[in-house]
Structure 1
């Protein structure tokens, strides 16, 4: 099996100035696809990437327009021969909103030099990974040793109807392996494959006890306080150690790599002297076990509090669960825990919200082995594997469209890149090594591949047309919801 050639590594090093310049151009575009943000910058980013793909030698580029979402770039490079494998490359070109810009050390859409890299909103999540895909294509001058299908999504961060589209058009997304580049390394300098994604579900808990607030001096002590009822119910979700106490939620030992406690405390910004919650390894708590977080609470604020018994309170819960647990089962277990509760005799109103499945990748196939070797060669150290508590809804859609394809999750991000936070940044070393790893992966995979493959059944309902850049119209409709 041929090592990633020195010529390819040298080629990537020679391409880095151009790749970095294109990353700056892309990161300067405020391509936020959330409601209330203009669509123009998203279209501008789309047009830039179409041009960069064509410049990289990709002749077949299409635009997929689904209702209620930003355009998807779809492109193909045919296999160099009939027995060569086909690899699907995925990233997204939209970004999170910048948030409170006063917390940024430089304007979020003005790419700014930092030690060893660049700072800007979306530069790590996920524009560096888009550029990494382009870097591999440039290194092979548009003629890689595998067939390539490219999917650059334009509304991943907000949530998109595209998540469910691939299974309706399986022939388009049929492939032997896919590289989902929407994450990265455990830490800078540690090549990492992500093998599991926790699933997610939401539940809302409401309590109403009085028609309206009543004076706490005159009525407190007998009038039922809705906030106290809600807090007593929420307190049952965890045991004395902080472990989730809902029966039936799957939890198992974590055998892969993980953070040290010191690393995690720094990454999470845990205040000095405050302990971490839960028991067992960090990997078990973060990736192979459940977590329940109160992500929203409707109750009187401290600054505007009146001396009154609270008549109404509501909380929104976010449940993360084992990659192999069914999302509806996991959500039902949480509902079944909460619904019978009647703190102080007061019933709860418990409502199911959205769910999203987890994913666990195969790790015994030729693509996984090729990727593990390629990452180790690019970084010069052994490849680690981790899971993530976040979710990438499209992974399941693509996996359903190509059920026999191996799914590989790696990229140019790292745990300290501040994705979704102020002062997001990417390191040039991680970007360069990701491009080298991509090149090494397709070389190894092509040389060791034996034709297998799978297809599916066709389906509707998108507008698909050759992409000529600017001026193409978007379909209209309602907005998607994030997972």
Structure 2
């Protein structure tokens, strides 16, 4: 029996996936070159490296042959004369009534931390056991290269039939709080406006199962200073009668959680939503939880991470062990980082936290709040055509049906996208898996996940190219 001839559409997609496969080696080589550039947006680091990184991304965008215009731009940080970090904006107008898509990622990375915690140098890309190791290899230079590799394949196969409008926005300060992001959107609104926006800065259920992120927790981060004394005093002469700042801080912080480790702050809410099954054994493996240490919180594990608030103390200014003396500390400063459940505003969550801390301040300790940074969470409207198209592309790209994910981390700028472009469908995707260790030593990218992510995006772009423009 003779098999039927493939349709024009299936033949084109077969050619497209072949082009993706052929382009993966060069995409990974380009990713390695990006990883070698230590572009960190924090002022303590060499900012010329961030400029190098932006220039390198701009050249990659030009090399696709897709864009009408490619520029490296900066926007002002709102309400200041300060310029934000360099971003890349590449644009291509839609043709013949086709829709448009905005592709986002970021080229800045987290500081590497202590070199001795890395098995190989953080800015020397290294492949072992099917993973590419290096700072930014996953978060988020792999997101950049997923866009570039997909565009190369689509442009190469479709040629003059590629009519989709495409904008590429590669930010340069996501890890530093996206301080100029909102202004950048306003300054470049016409170039960025699109029917769908792909934010390639999230992850997947695991290295084999693609995920479309439909909820993100918000964040409320601030510095708390606890003060009890006008000056330091001898702990032997006054200890037992005078509360030092460390004692007050420890006593106060303990009120933030209940006996199960769940957040115990009135006014911080949770979201009620079903989650996939996730075992404690998997949690231990993916998080590196030590034997004998129990998980915290109650109910389903994904629900604790995706739909409930959390509070973490991420830093503290206090006398080091090496310099410790018998002294009552007059003042302690610490950073509180709270994740806010989807559906609650970050401002409301912060207000609840401040109210709780002031109400529970022990011994009349003086509290000061500063460096407040708030970002709202995100809930996706999953009814749109672009969401349906993305899920289908993920299933075909990975060979496994996509799942809807919540993410415990925060991408606060997504709220800016929703505000500035309310008509756009937001598609939060990514190339990370639970073992990527983004922000940590030995960050890595699972190479098969990267290949499948490029396949997915190429299929999505090609299928969008077949649609009539959306109003």
Length-normalised TM-score, structure 2 = 0.90
Structure with more contact order per residue of length (Cα contacts < 8 Å, sep ≥ 6): 1
Aligned equivalent of 2:105: 91
Deviations 1:93-122 (A, max 9, x none): 122222111222222222112122321211
Structure with greater proportional helix content: 2
Q: What does 1:17-166 correspond to in 2, within 5 Å?
A: 17-57=25-65, 58-67=67-76, 68-82=83-97, 84-141=98-155, 144-165=162-183, 166=185
Aligned equivalent of 1:6: 14
Aligned equivalent of 2:346: 327
Give the match's secondary structure for 1:183.
Answer: strand
Correspondence 1:15 to 2:23: yes
Aligned equivalent of 1:202: 221
Correspondence 1:418 to 2:437: yes
Select the residue among 273, 277, 280 that pairs with 2:292.
Answer: 273
Select the residue among 443, 450, 453 that pairs with 2:462.
Answer: 443
Give the match's secondary structure for 1:118.
Answer: strand
| 1:89 Cα deviation after fit | 0.2
| 1:342 Cα deviation after fit | 4.1
Instruction: Write the distance in 1 (CA, Å) between the matches of 2:391 and 2:123.
Output: 34
Select the residue among 243, 257, 282 that pairs with 1:238.
Answer: 257
Cα distance change, pair 406–340 in 1 and its aligned pair in 2 (3 A):
same
Instruction: Write the distance in 1 (CA, Å) between the matches of 2:17 and 2:275.
Output: 29
Instruction: Write the distance in 1 (CA, Å) between the matches of 2:232 and 2:448.
Output: 58
Q: What does 1:216-365 correspond to in 2, within 5 Å?
A: 216-257=235-276, 259-344=278-363, 346-351=364-369, 353-365=372-384
Cα distance change, pair 209–71 in 1 and its aligned pair in 2 (3 A):
closer
Instruction: Write the distance in 2 (CA, Å) between the matches of 1:161 and 1:252.
Output: 28
Is residue 263–residue 309 contact of structure 2 (8 Å, CA) maintained in 1? yes
Aligned equivalent of 2:390: 371
Cα distance change, pair 264–167 in 1 and its aligned pair in 2 (3 A):
farther
Cα distance change, pair 258–398 in 1 and its aligned pair in 2 (3 A):
farther
Deviations 1:445-474 (A, max 9, x none): 34455621xxxxxxxxxxxxxxxxxxxxxx
Aligned equivalent of 2:400: 381
| 1:167 Cα deviation after fit | 3.6
How many pairs does the alignment contain? 450
| 1:394 Cα deviation after fit | 2.6
Deviations 1:180-216 (A, max 9, x none): 0112212101111111221111244333323333333
Q: What does 1:153-192 correspond to in 2, within 5 Å?
A: 153-165=171-183, 166-192=185-211
Give the match's secondary structure for 1:125.
Answer: coil
Instruction: Write the distance in 2 (CA, Å) between the matches of 1:74 and 1:276.
Output: 43
Instruction: Write the distance in 1 (CA, Å) between the matches of 2:207 and 2:397.
Output: 13
Deviations 1:132-177 (A, max 9, x none): 1111111122654521111011222223433212145432221100
**Which deviates more from structure 2 when the two are superposed, residues 256-265 or residues 191-200?**
256-265
Instruction: Write the distance in 2 (CA, Å) between the matches of 1:195 and 1:378.
Output: 19
Is residue 55–residue 72 contact of structure 2 (8 Å, CA) maintained in 1? no
Structure 1: runs of 5+ lacking an equivalent: 453-483
Is residue 117–residue 441 contact of structure 2 (8 Å, CA) maintained in 1? yes
Instruction: Write the distance in 1 (CA, Å) between the matches of 2:15 and 2:263.
Output: 52
Is residue 15–residue 135 contact of structure 1 (8 Å, CA) maintained in 2? yes
| 1:405 Cα deviation after fit | 0.5
Give the match's secondary structure for 1:135.
Answer: helix
Is residue 335–residue 350 contact of structure 1 (8 Å, CA) maintained in 2? no
Cα distance change, pair 23–218 in 1 and its aligned pair in 2 (3 A):
closer
Instruction: Write the distance in 1 (CA, Å) between the matches of 2:38 and 2:373.
Output: 28
Aligned equivalent of 2:412: 393
Is residue 203–residue 350 contact of structure 1 (8 Å, CA) maintained in 2? no
Is residue 346–residue 376 contact of structure 2 (8 Å, CA) maintained in 1? yes
Cα distance change, pair 226–404 in 1 and its aligned pair in 2 (3 A):
same
After TM superposition, which residue ranges in structure 1, 4 or more long, deviate above 4 angstroms? 1-4
Length-normalised TM-score, structure 1 = 0.87
